[in-house]
Chain A
Amino acid sequence: KNQVEQSPQSLIILEGKNCTLQCNYTVSPFSNLRWYKQDTGRGPVSLTIMTFSENTKSNGRYTATLDADTKQSSLHITASQLSDSASYICVVSGDGGDKIIFGKGTRLHILP
């Protein structure tokens, strides 16, 4: 069964600290993996998308990594800011067919 599991479910860190969010998947064959940021009361905003051949991609203070062998991705946030408080959603797309699987997301709270 194609699945996307995100951890932790929620995370609280102090402003200025770094953090890493995890995404493990079983979708096969793999096509691409996208990370979204979703602020409360808003729609998701795409942060990065990675294909099989890419193992790291950055967008400002956000860096996503992908290990297609172990089927794991992480999203690292550097020097967190209050505006980083949001849900972060991992989405994995399979190659062919109708496999676009969303994770449940990680809720990140940044405390001042």
Chain B
Amino acid sequence: ETGVTQTPRHLVMGMTNKKSLKCEQHLGHNAMYWYKQSAKKPLELMFVYSLEERVENNSVPSRFSPECPNSSHLFLHLHTLQPEDSALYLCASSQVLEMTAPTDFGPGTRLTVT
């Protein structure tokens, strides 16, 4: 788990706020992912980056905006969120982008939208 770190671990924000989630991987991986995990639902893939290029945007609302400045860092910028966006947001990485679920996940950011 220490290979992929996420900050903050917990975040409470109002619907008019702007905040960012940060992810850093120390594994030398080339692929990074954002997932959303809601209670009693499967993990939902949001975005995939390979070598800093976005390769998938899984029909995510524009109030979520990803940024990948280099292969080690991934951000998720949040603005004008809705209460139903409250969830655990997980960052993940893999050595390369391939047809399998990621090998390493971060601890997640627990987001509450009030």
CB pair B99 A100 closer than 8 Å? yes
B92 located at the interface, meaning its Cβ lies under 8 Å from any Cβ of chain A in the complex: yes
Which of A34, A41, A96, A103 is within 8 Å of B42, CB to CB?
A103
Residues of A within 8 A of B (CB): 4, 31-32, 34, 36, 41-46, 49, 89, 91, 93-96, 98-105
**Bound form: Cα–Cα A31–B100 in Å:** 8
**Does more than half of chain B's interface fall in helix, strand or loop, or is it mixed?**
loop
> Would you mind naming 29 contact pairs between A and B with Cβ atoms under 8 Å apart?
A4-B42, A34-B100, A41-B108, A42-B108, A43-B1, A43-B90, A43-B92, A43-B105, A43-B106, A43-B107, A44-B43, A44-B105, A46-B101, A46-B104, A93-B99, A93-B100, A94-B99, A95-B99, A96-B99, A99-B99, A100-B45, A100-B99, A101-B42, A102-B42, A102-B43, A102-B101, A103-B42, A104-B42, A105-B42
Question: Could you say which residues of chain A place their CB within 8 Å of the CB of B41?
Answer: 104
Question: Could you say which residues of chain B place their CB within 8 Å of the CB of A32?
Answer: 99-100
Chain B 30-42 per-residue mask, 1 if CB under 8 angstroms from chain A, else 0: 0000000000111
CB B109 to nearest CB in A, in angstroms, measures: 10
**Bound form: Cα–Cα A44–B92 in Å:** 9
**Bound form: Cα–Cα A49–B94 in Å:** 14
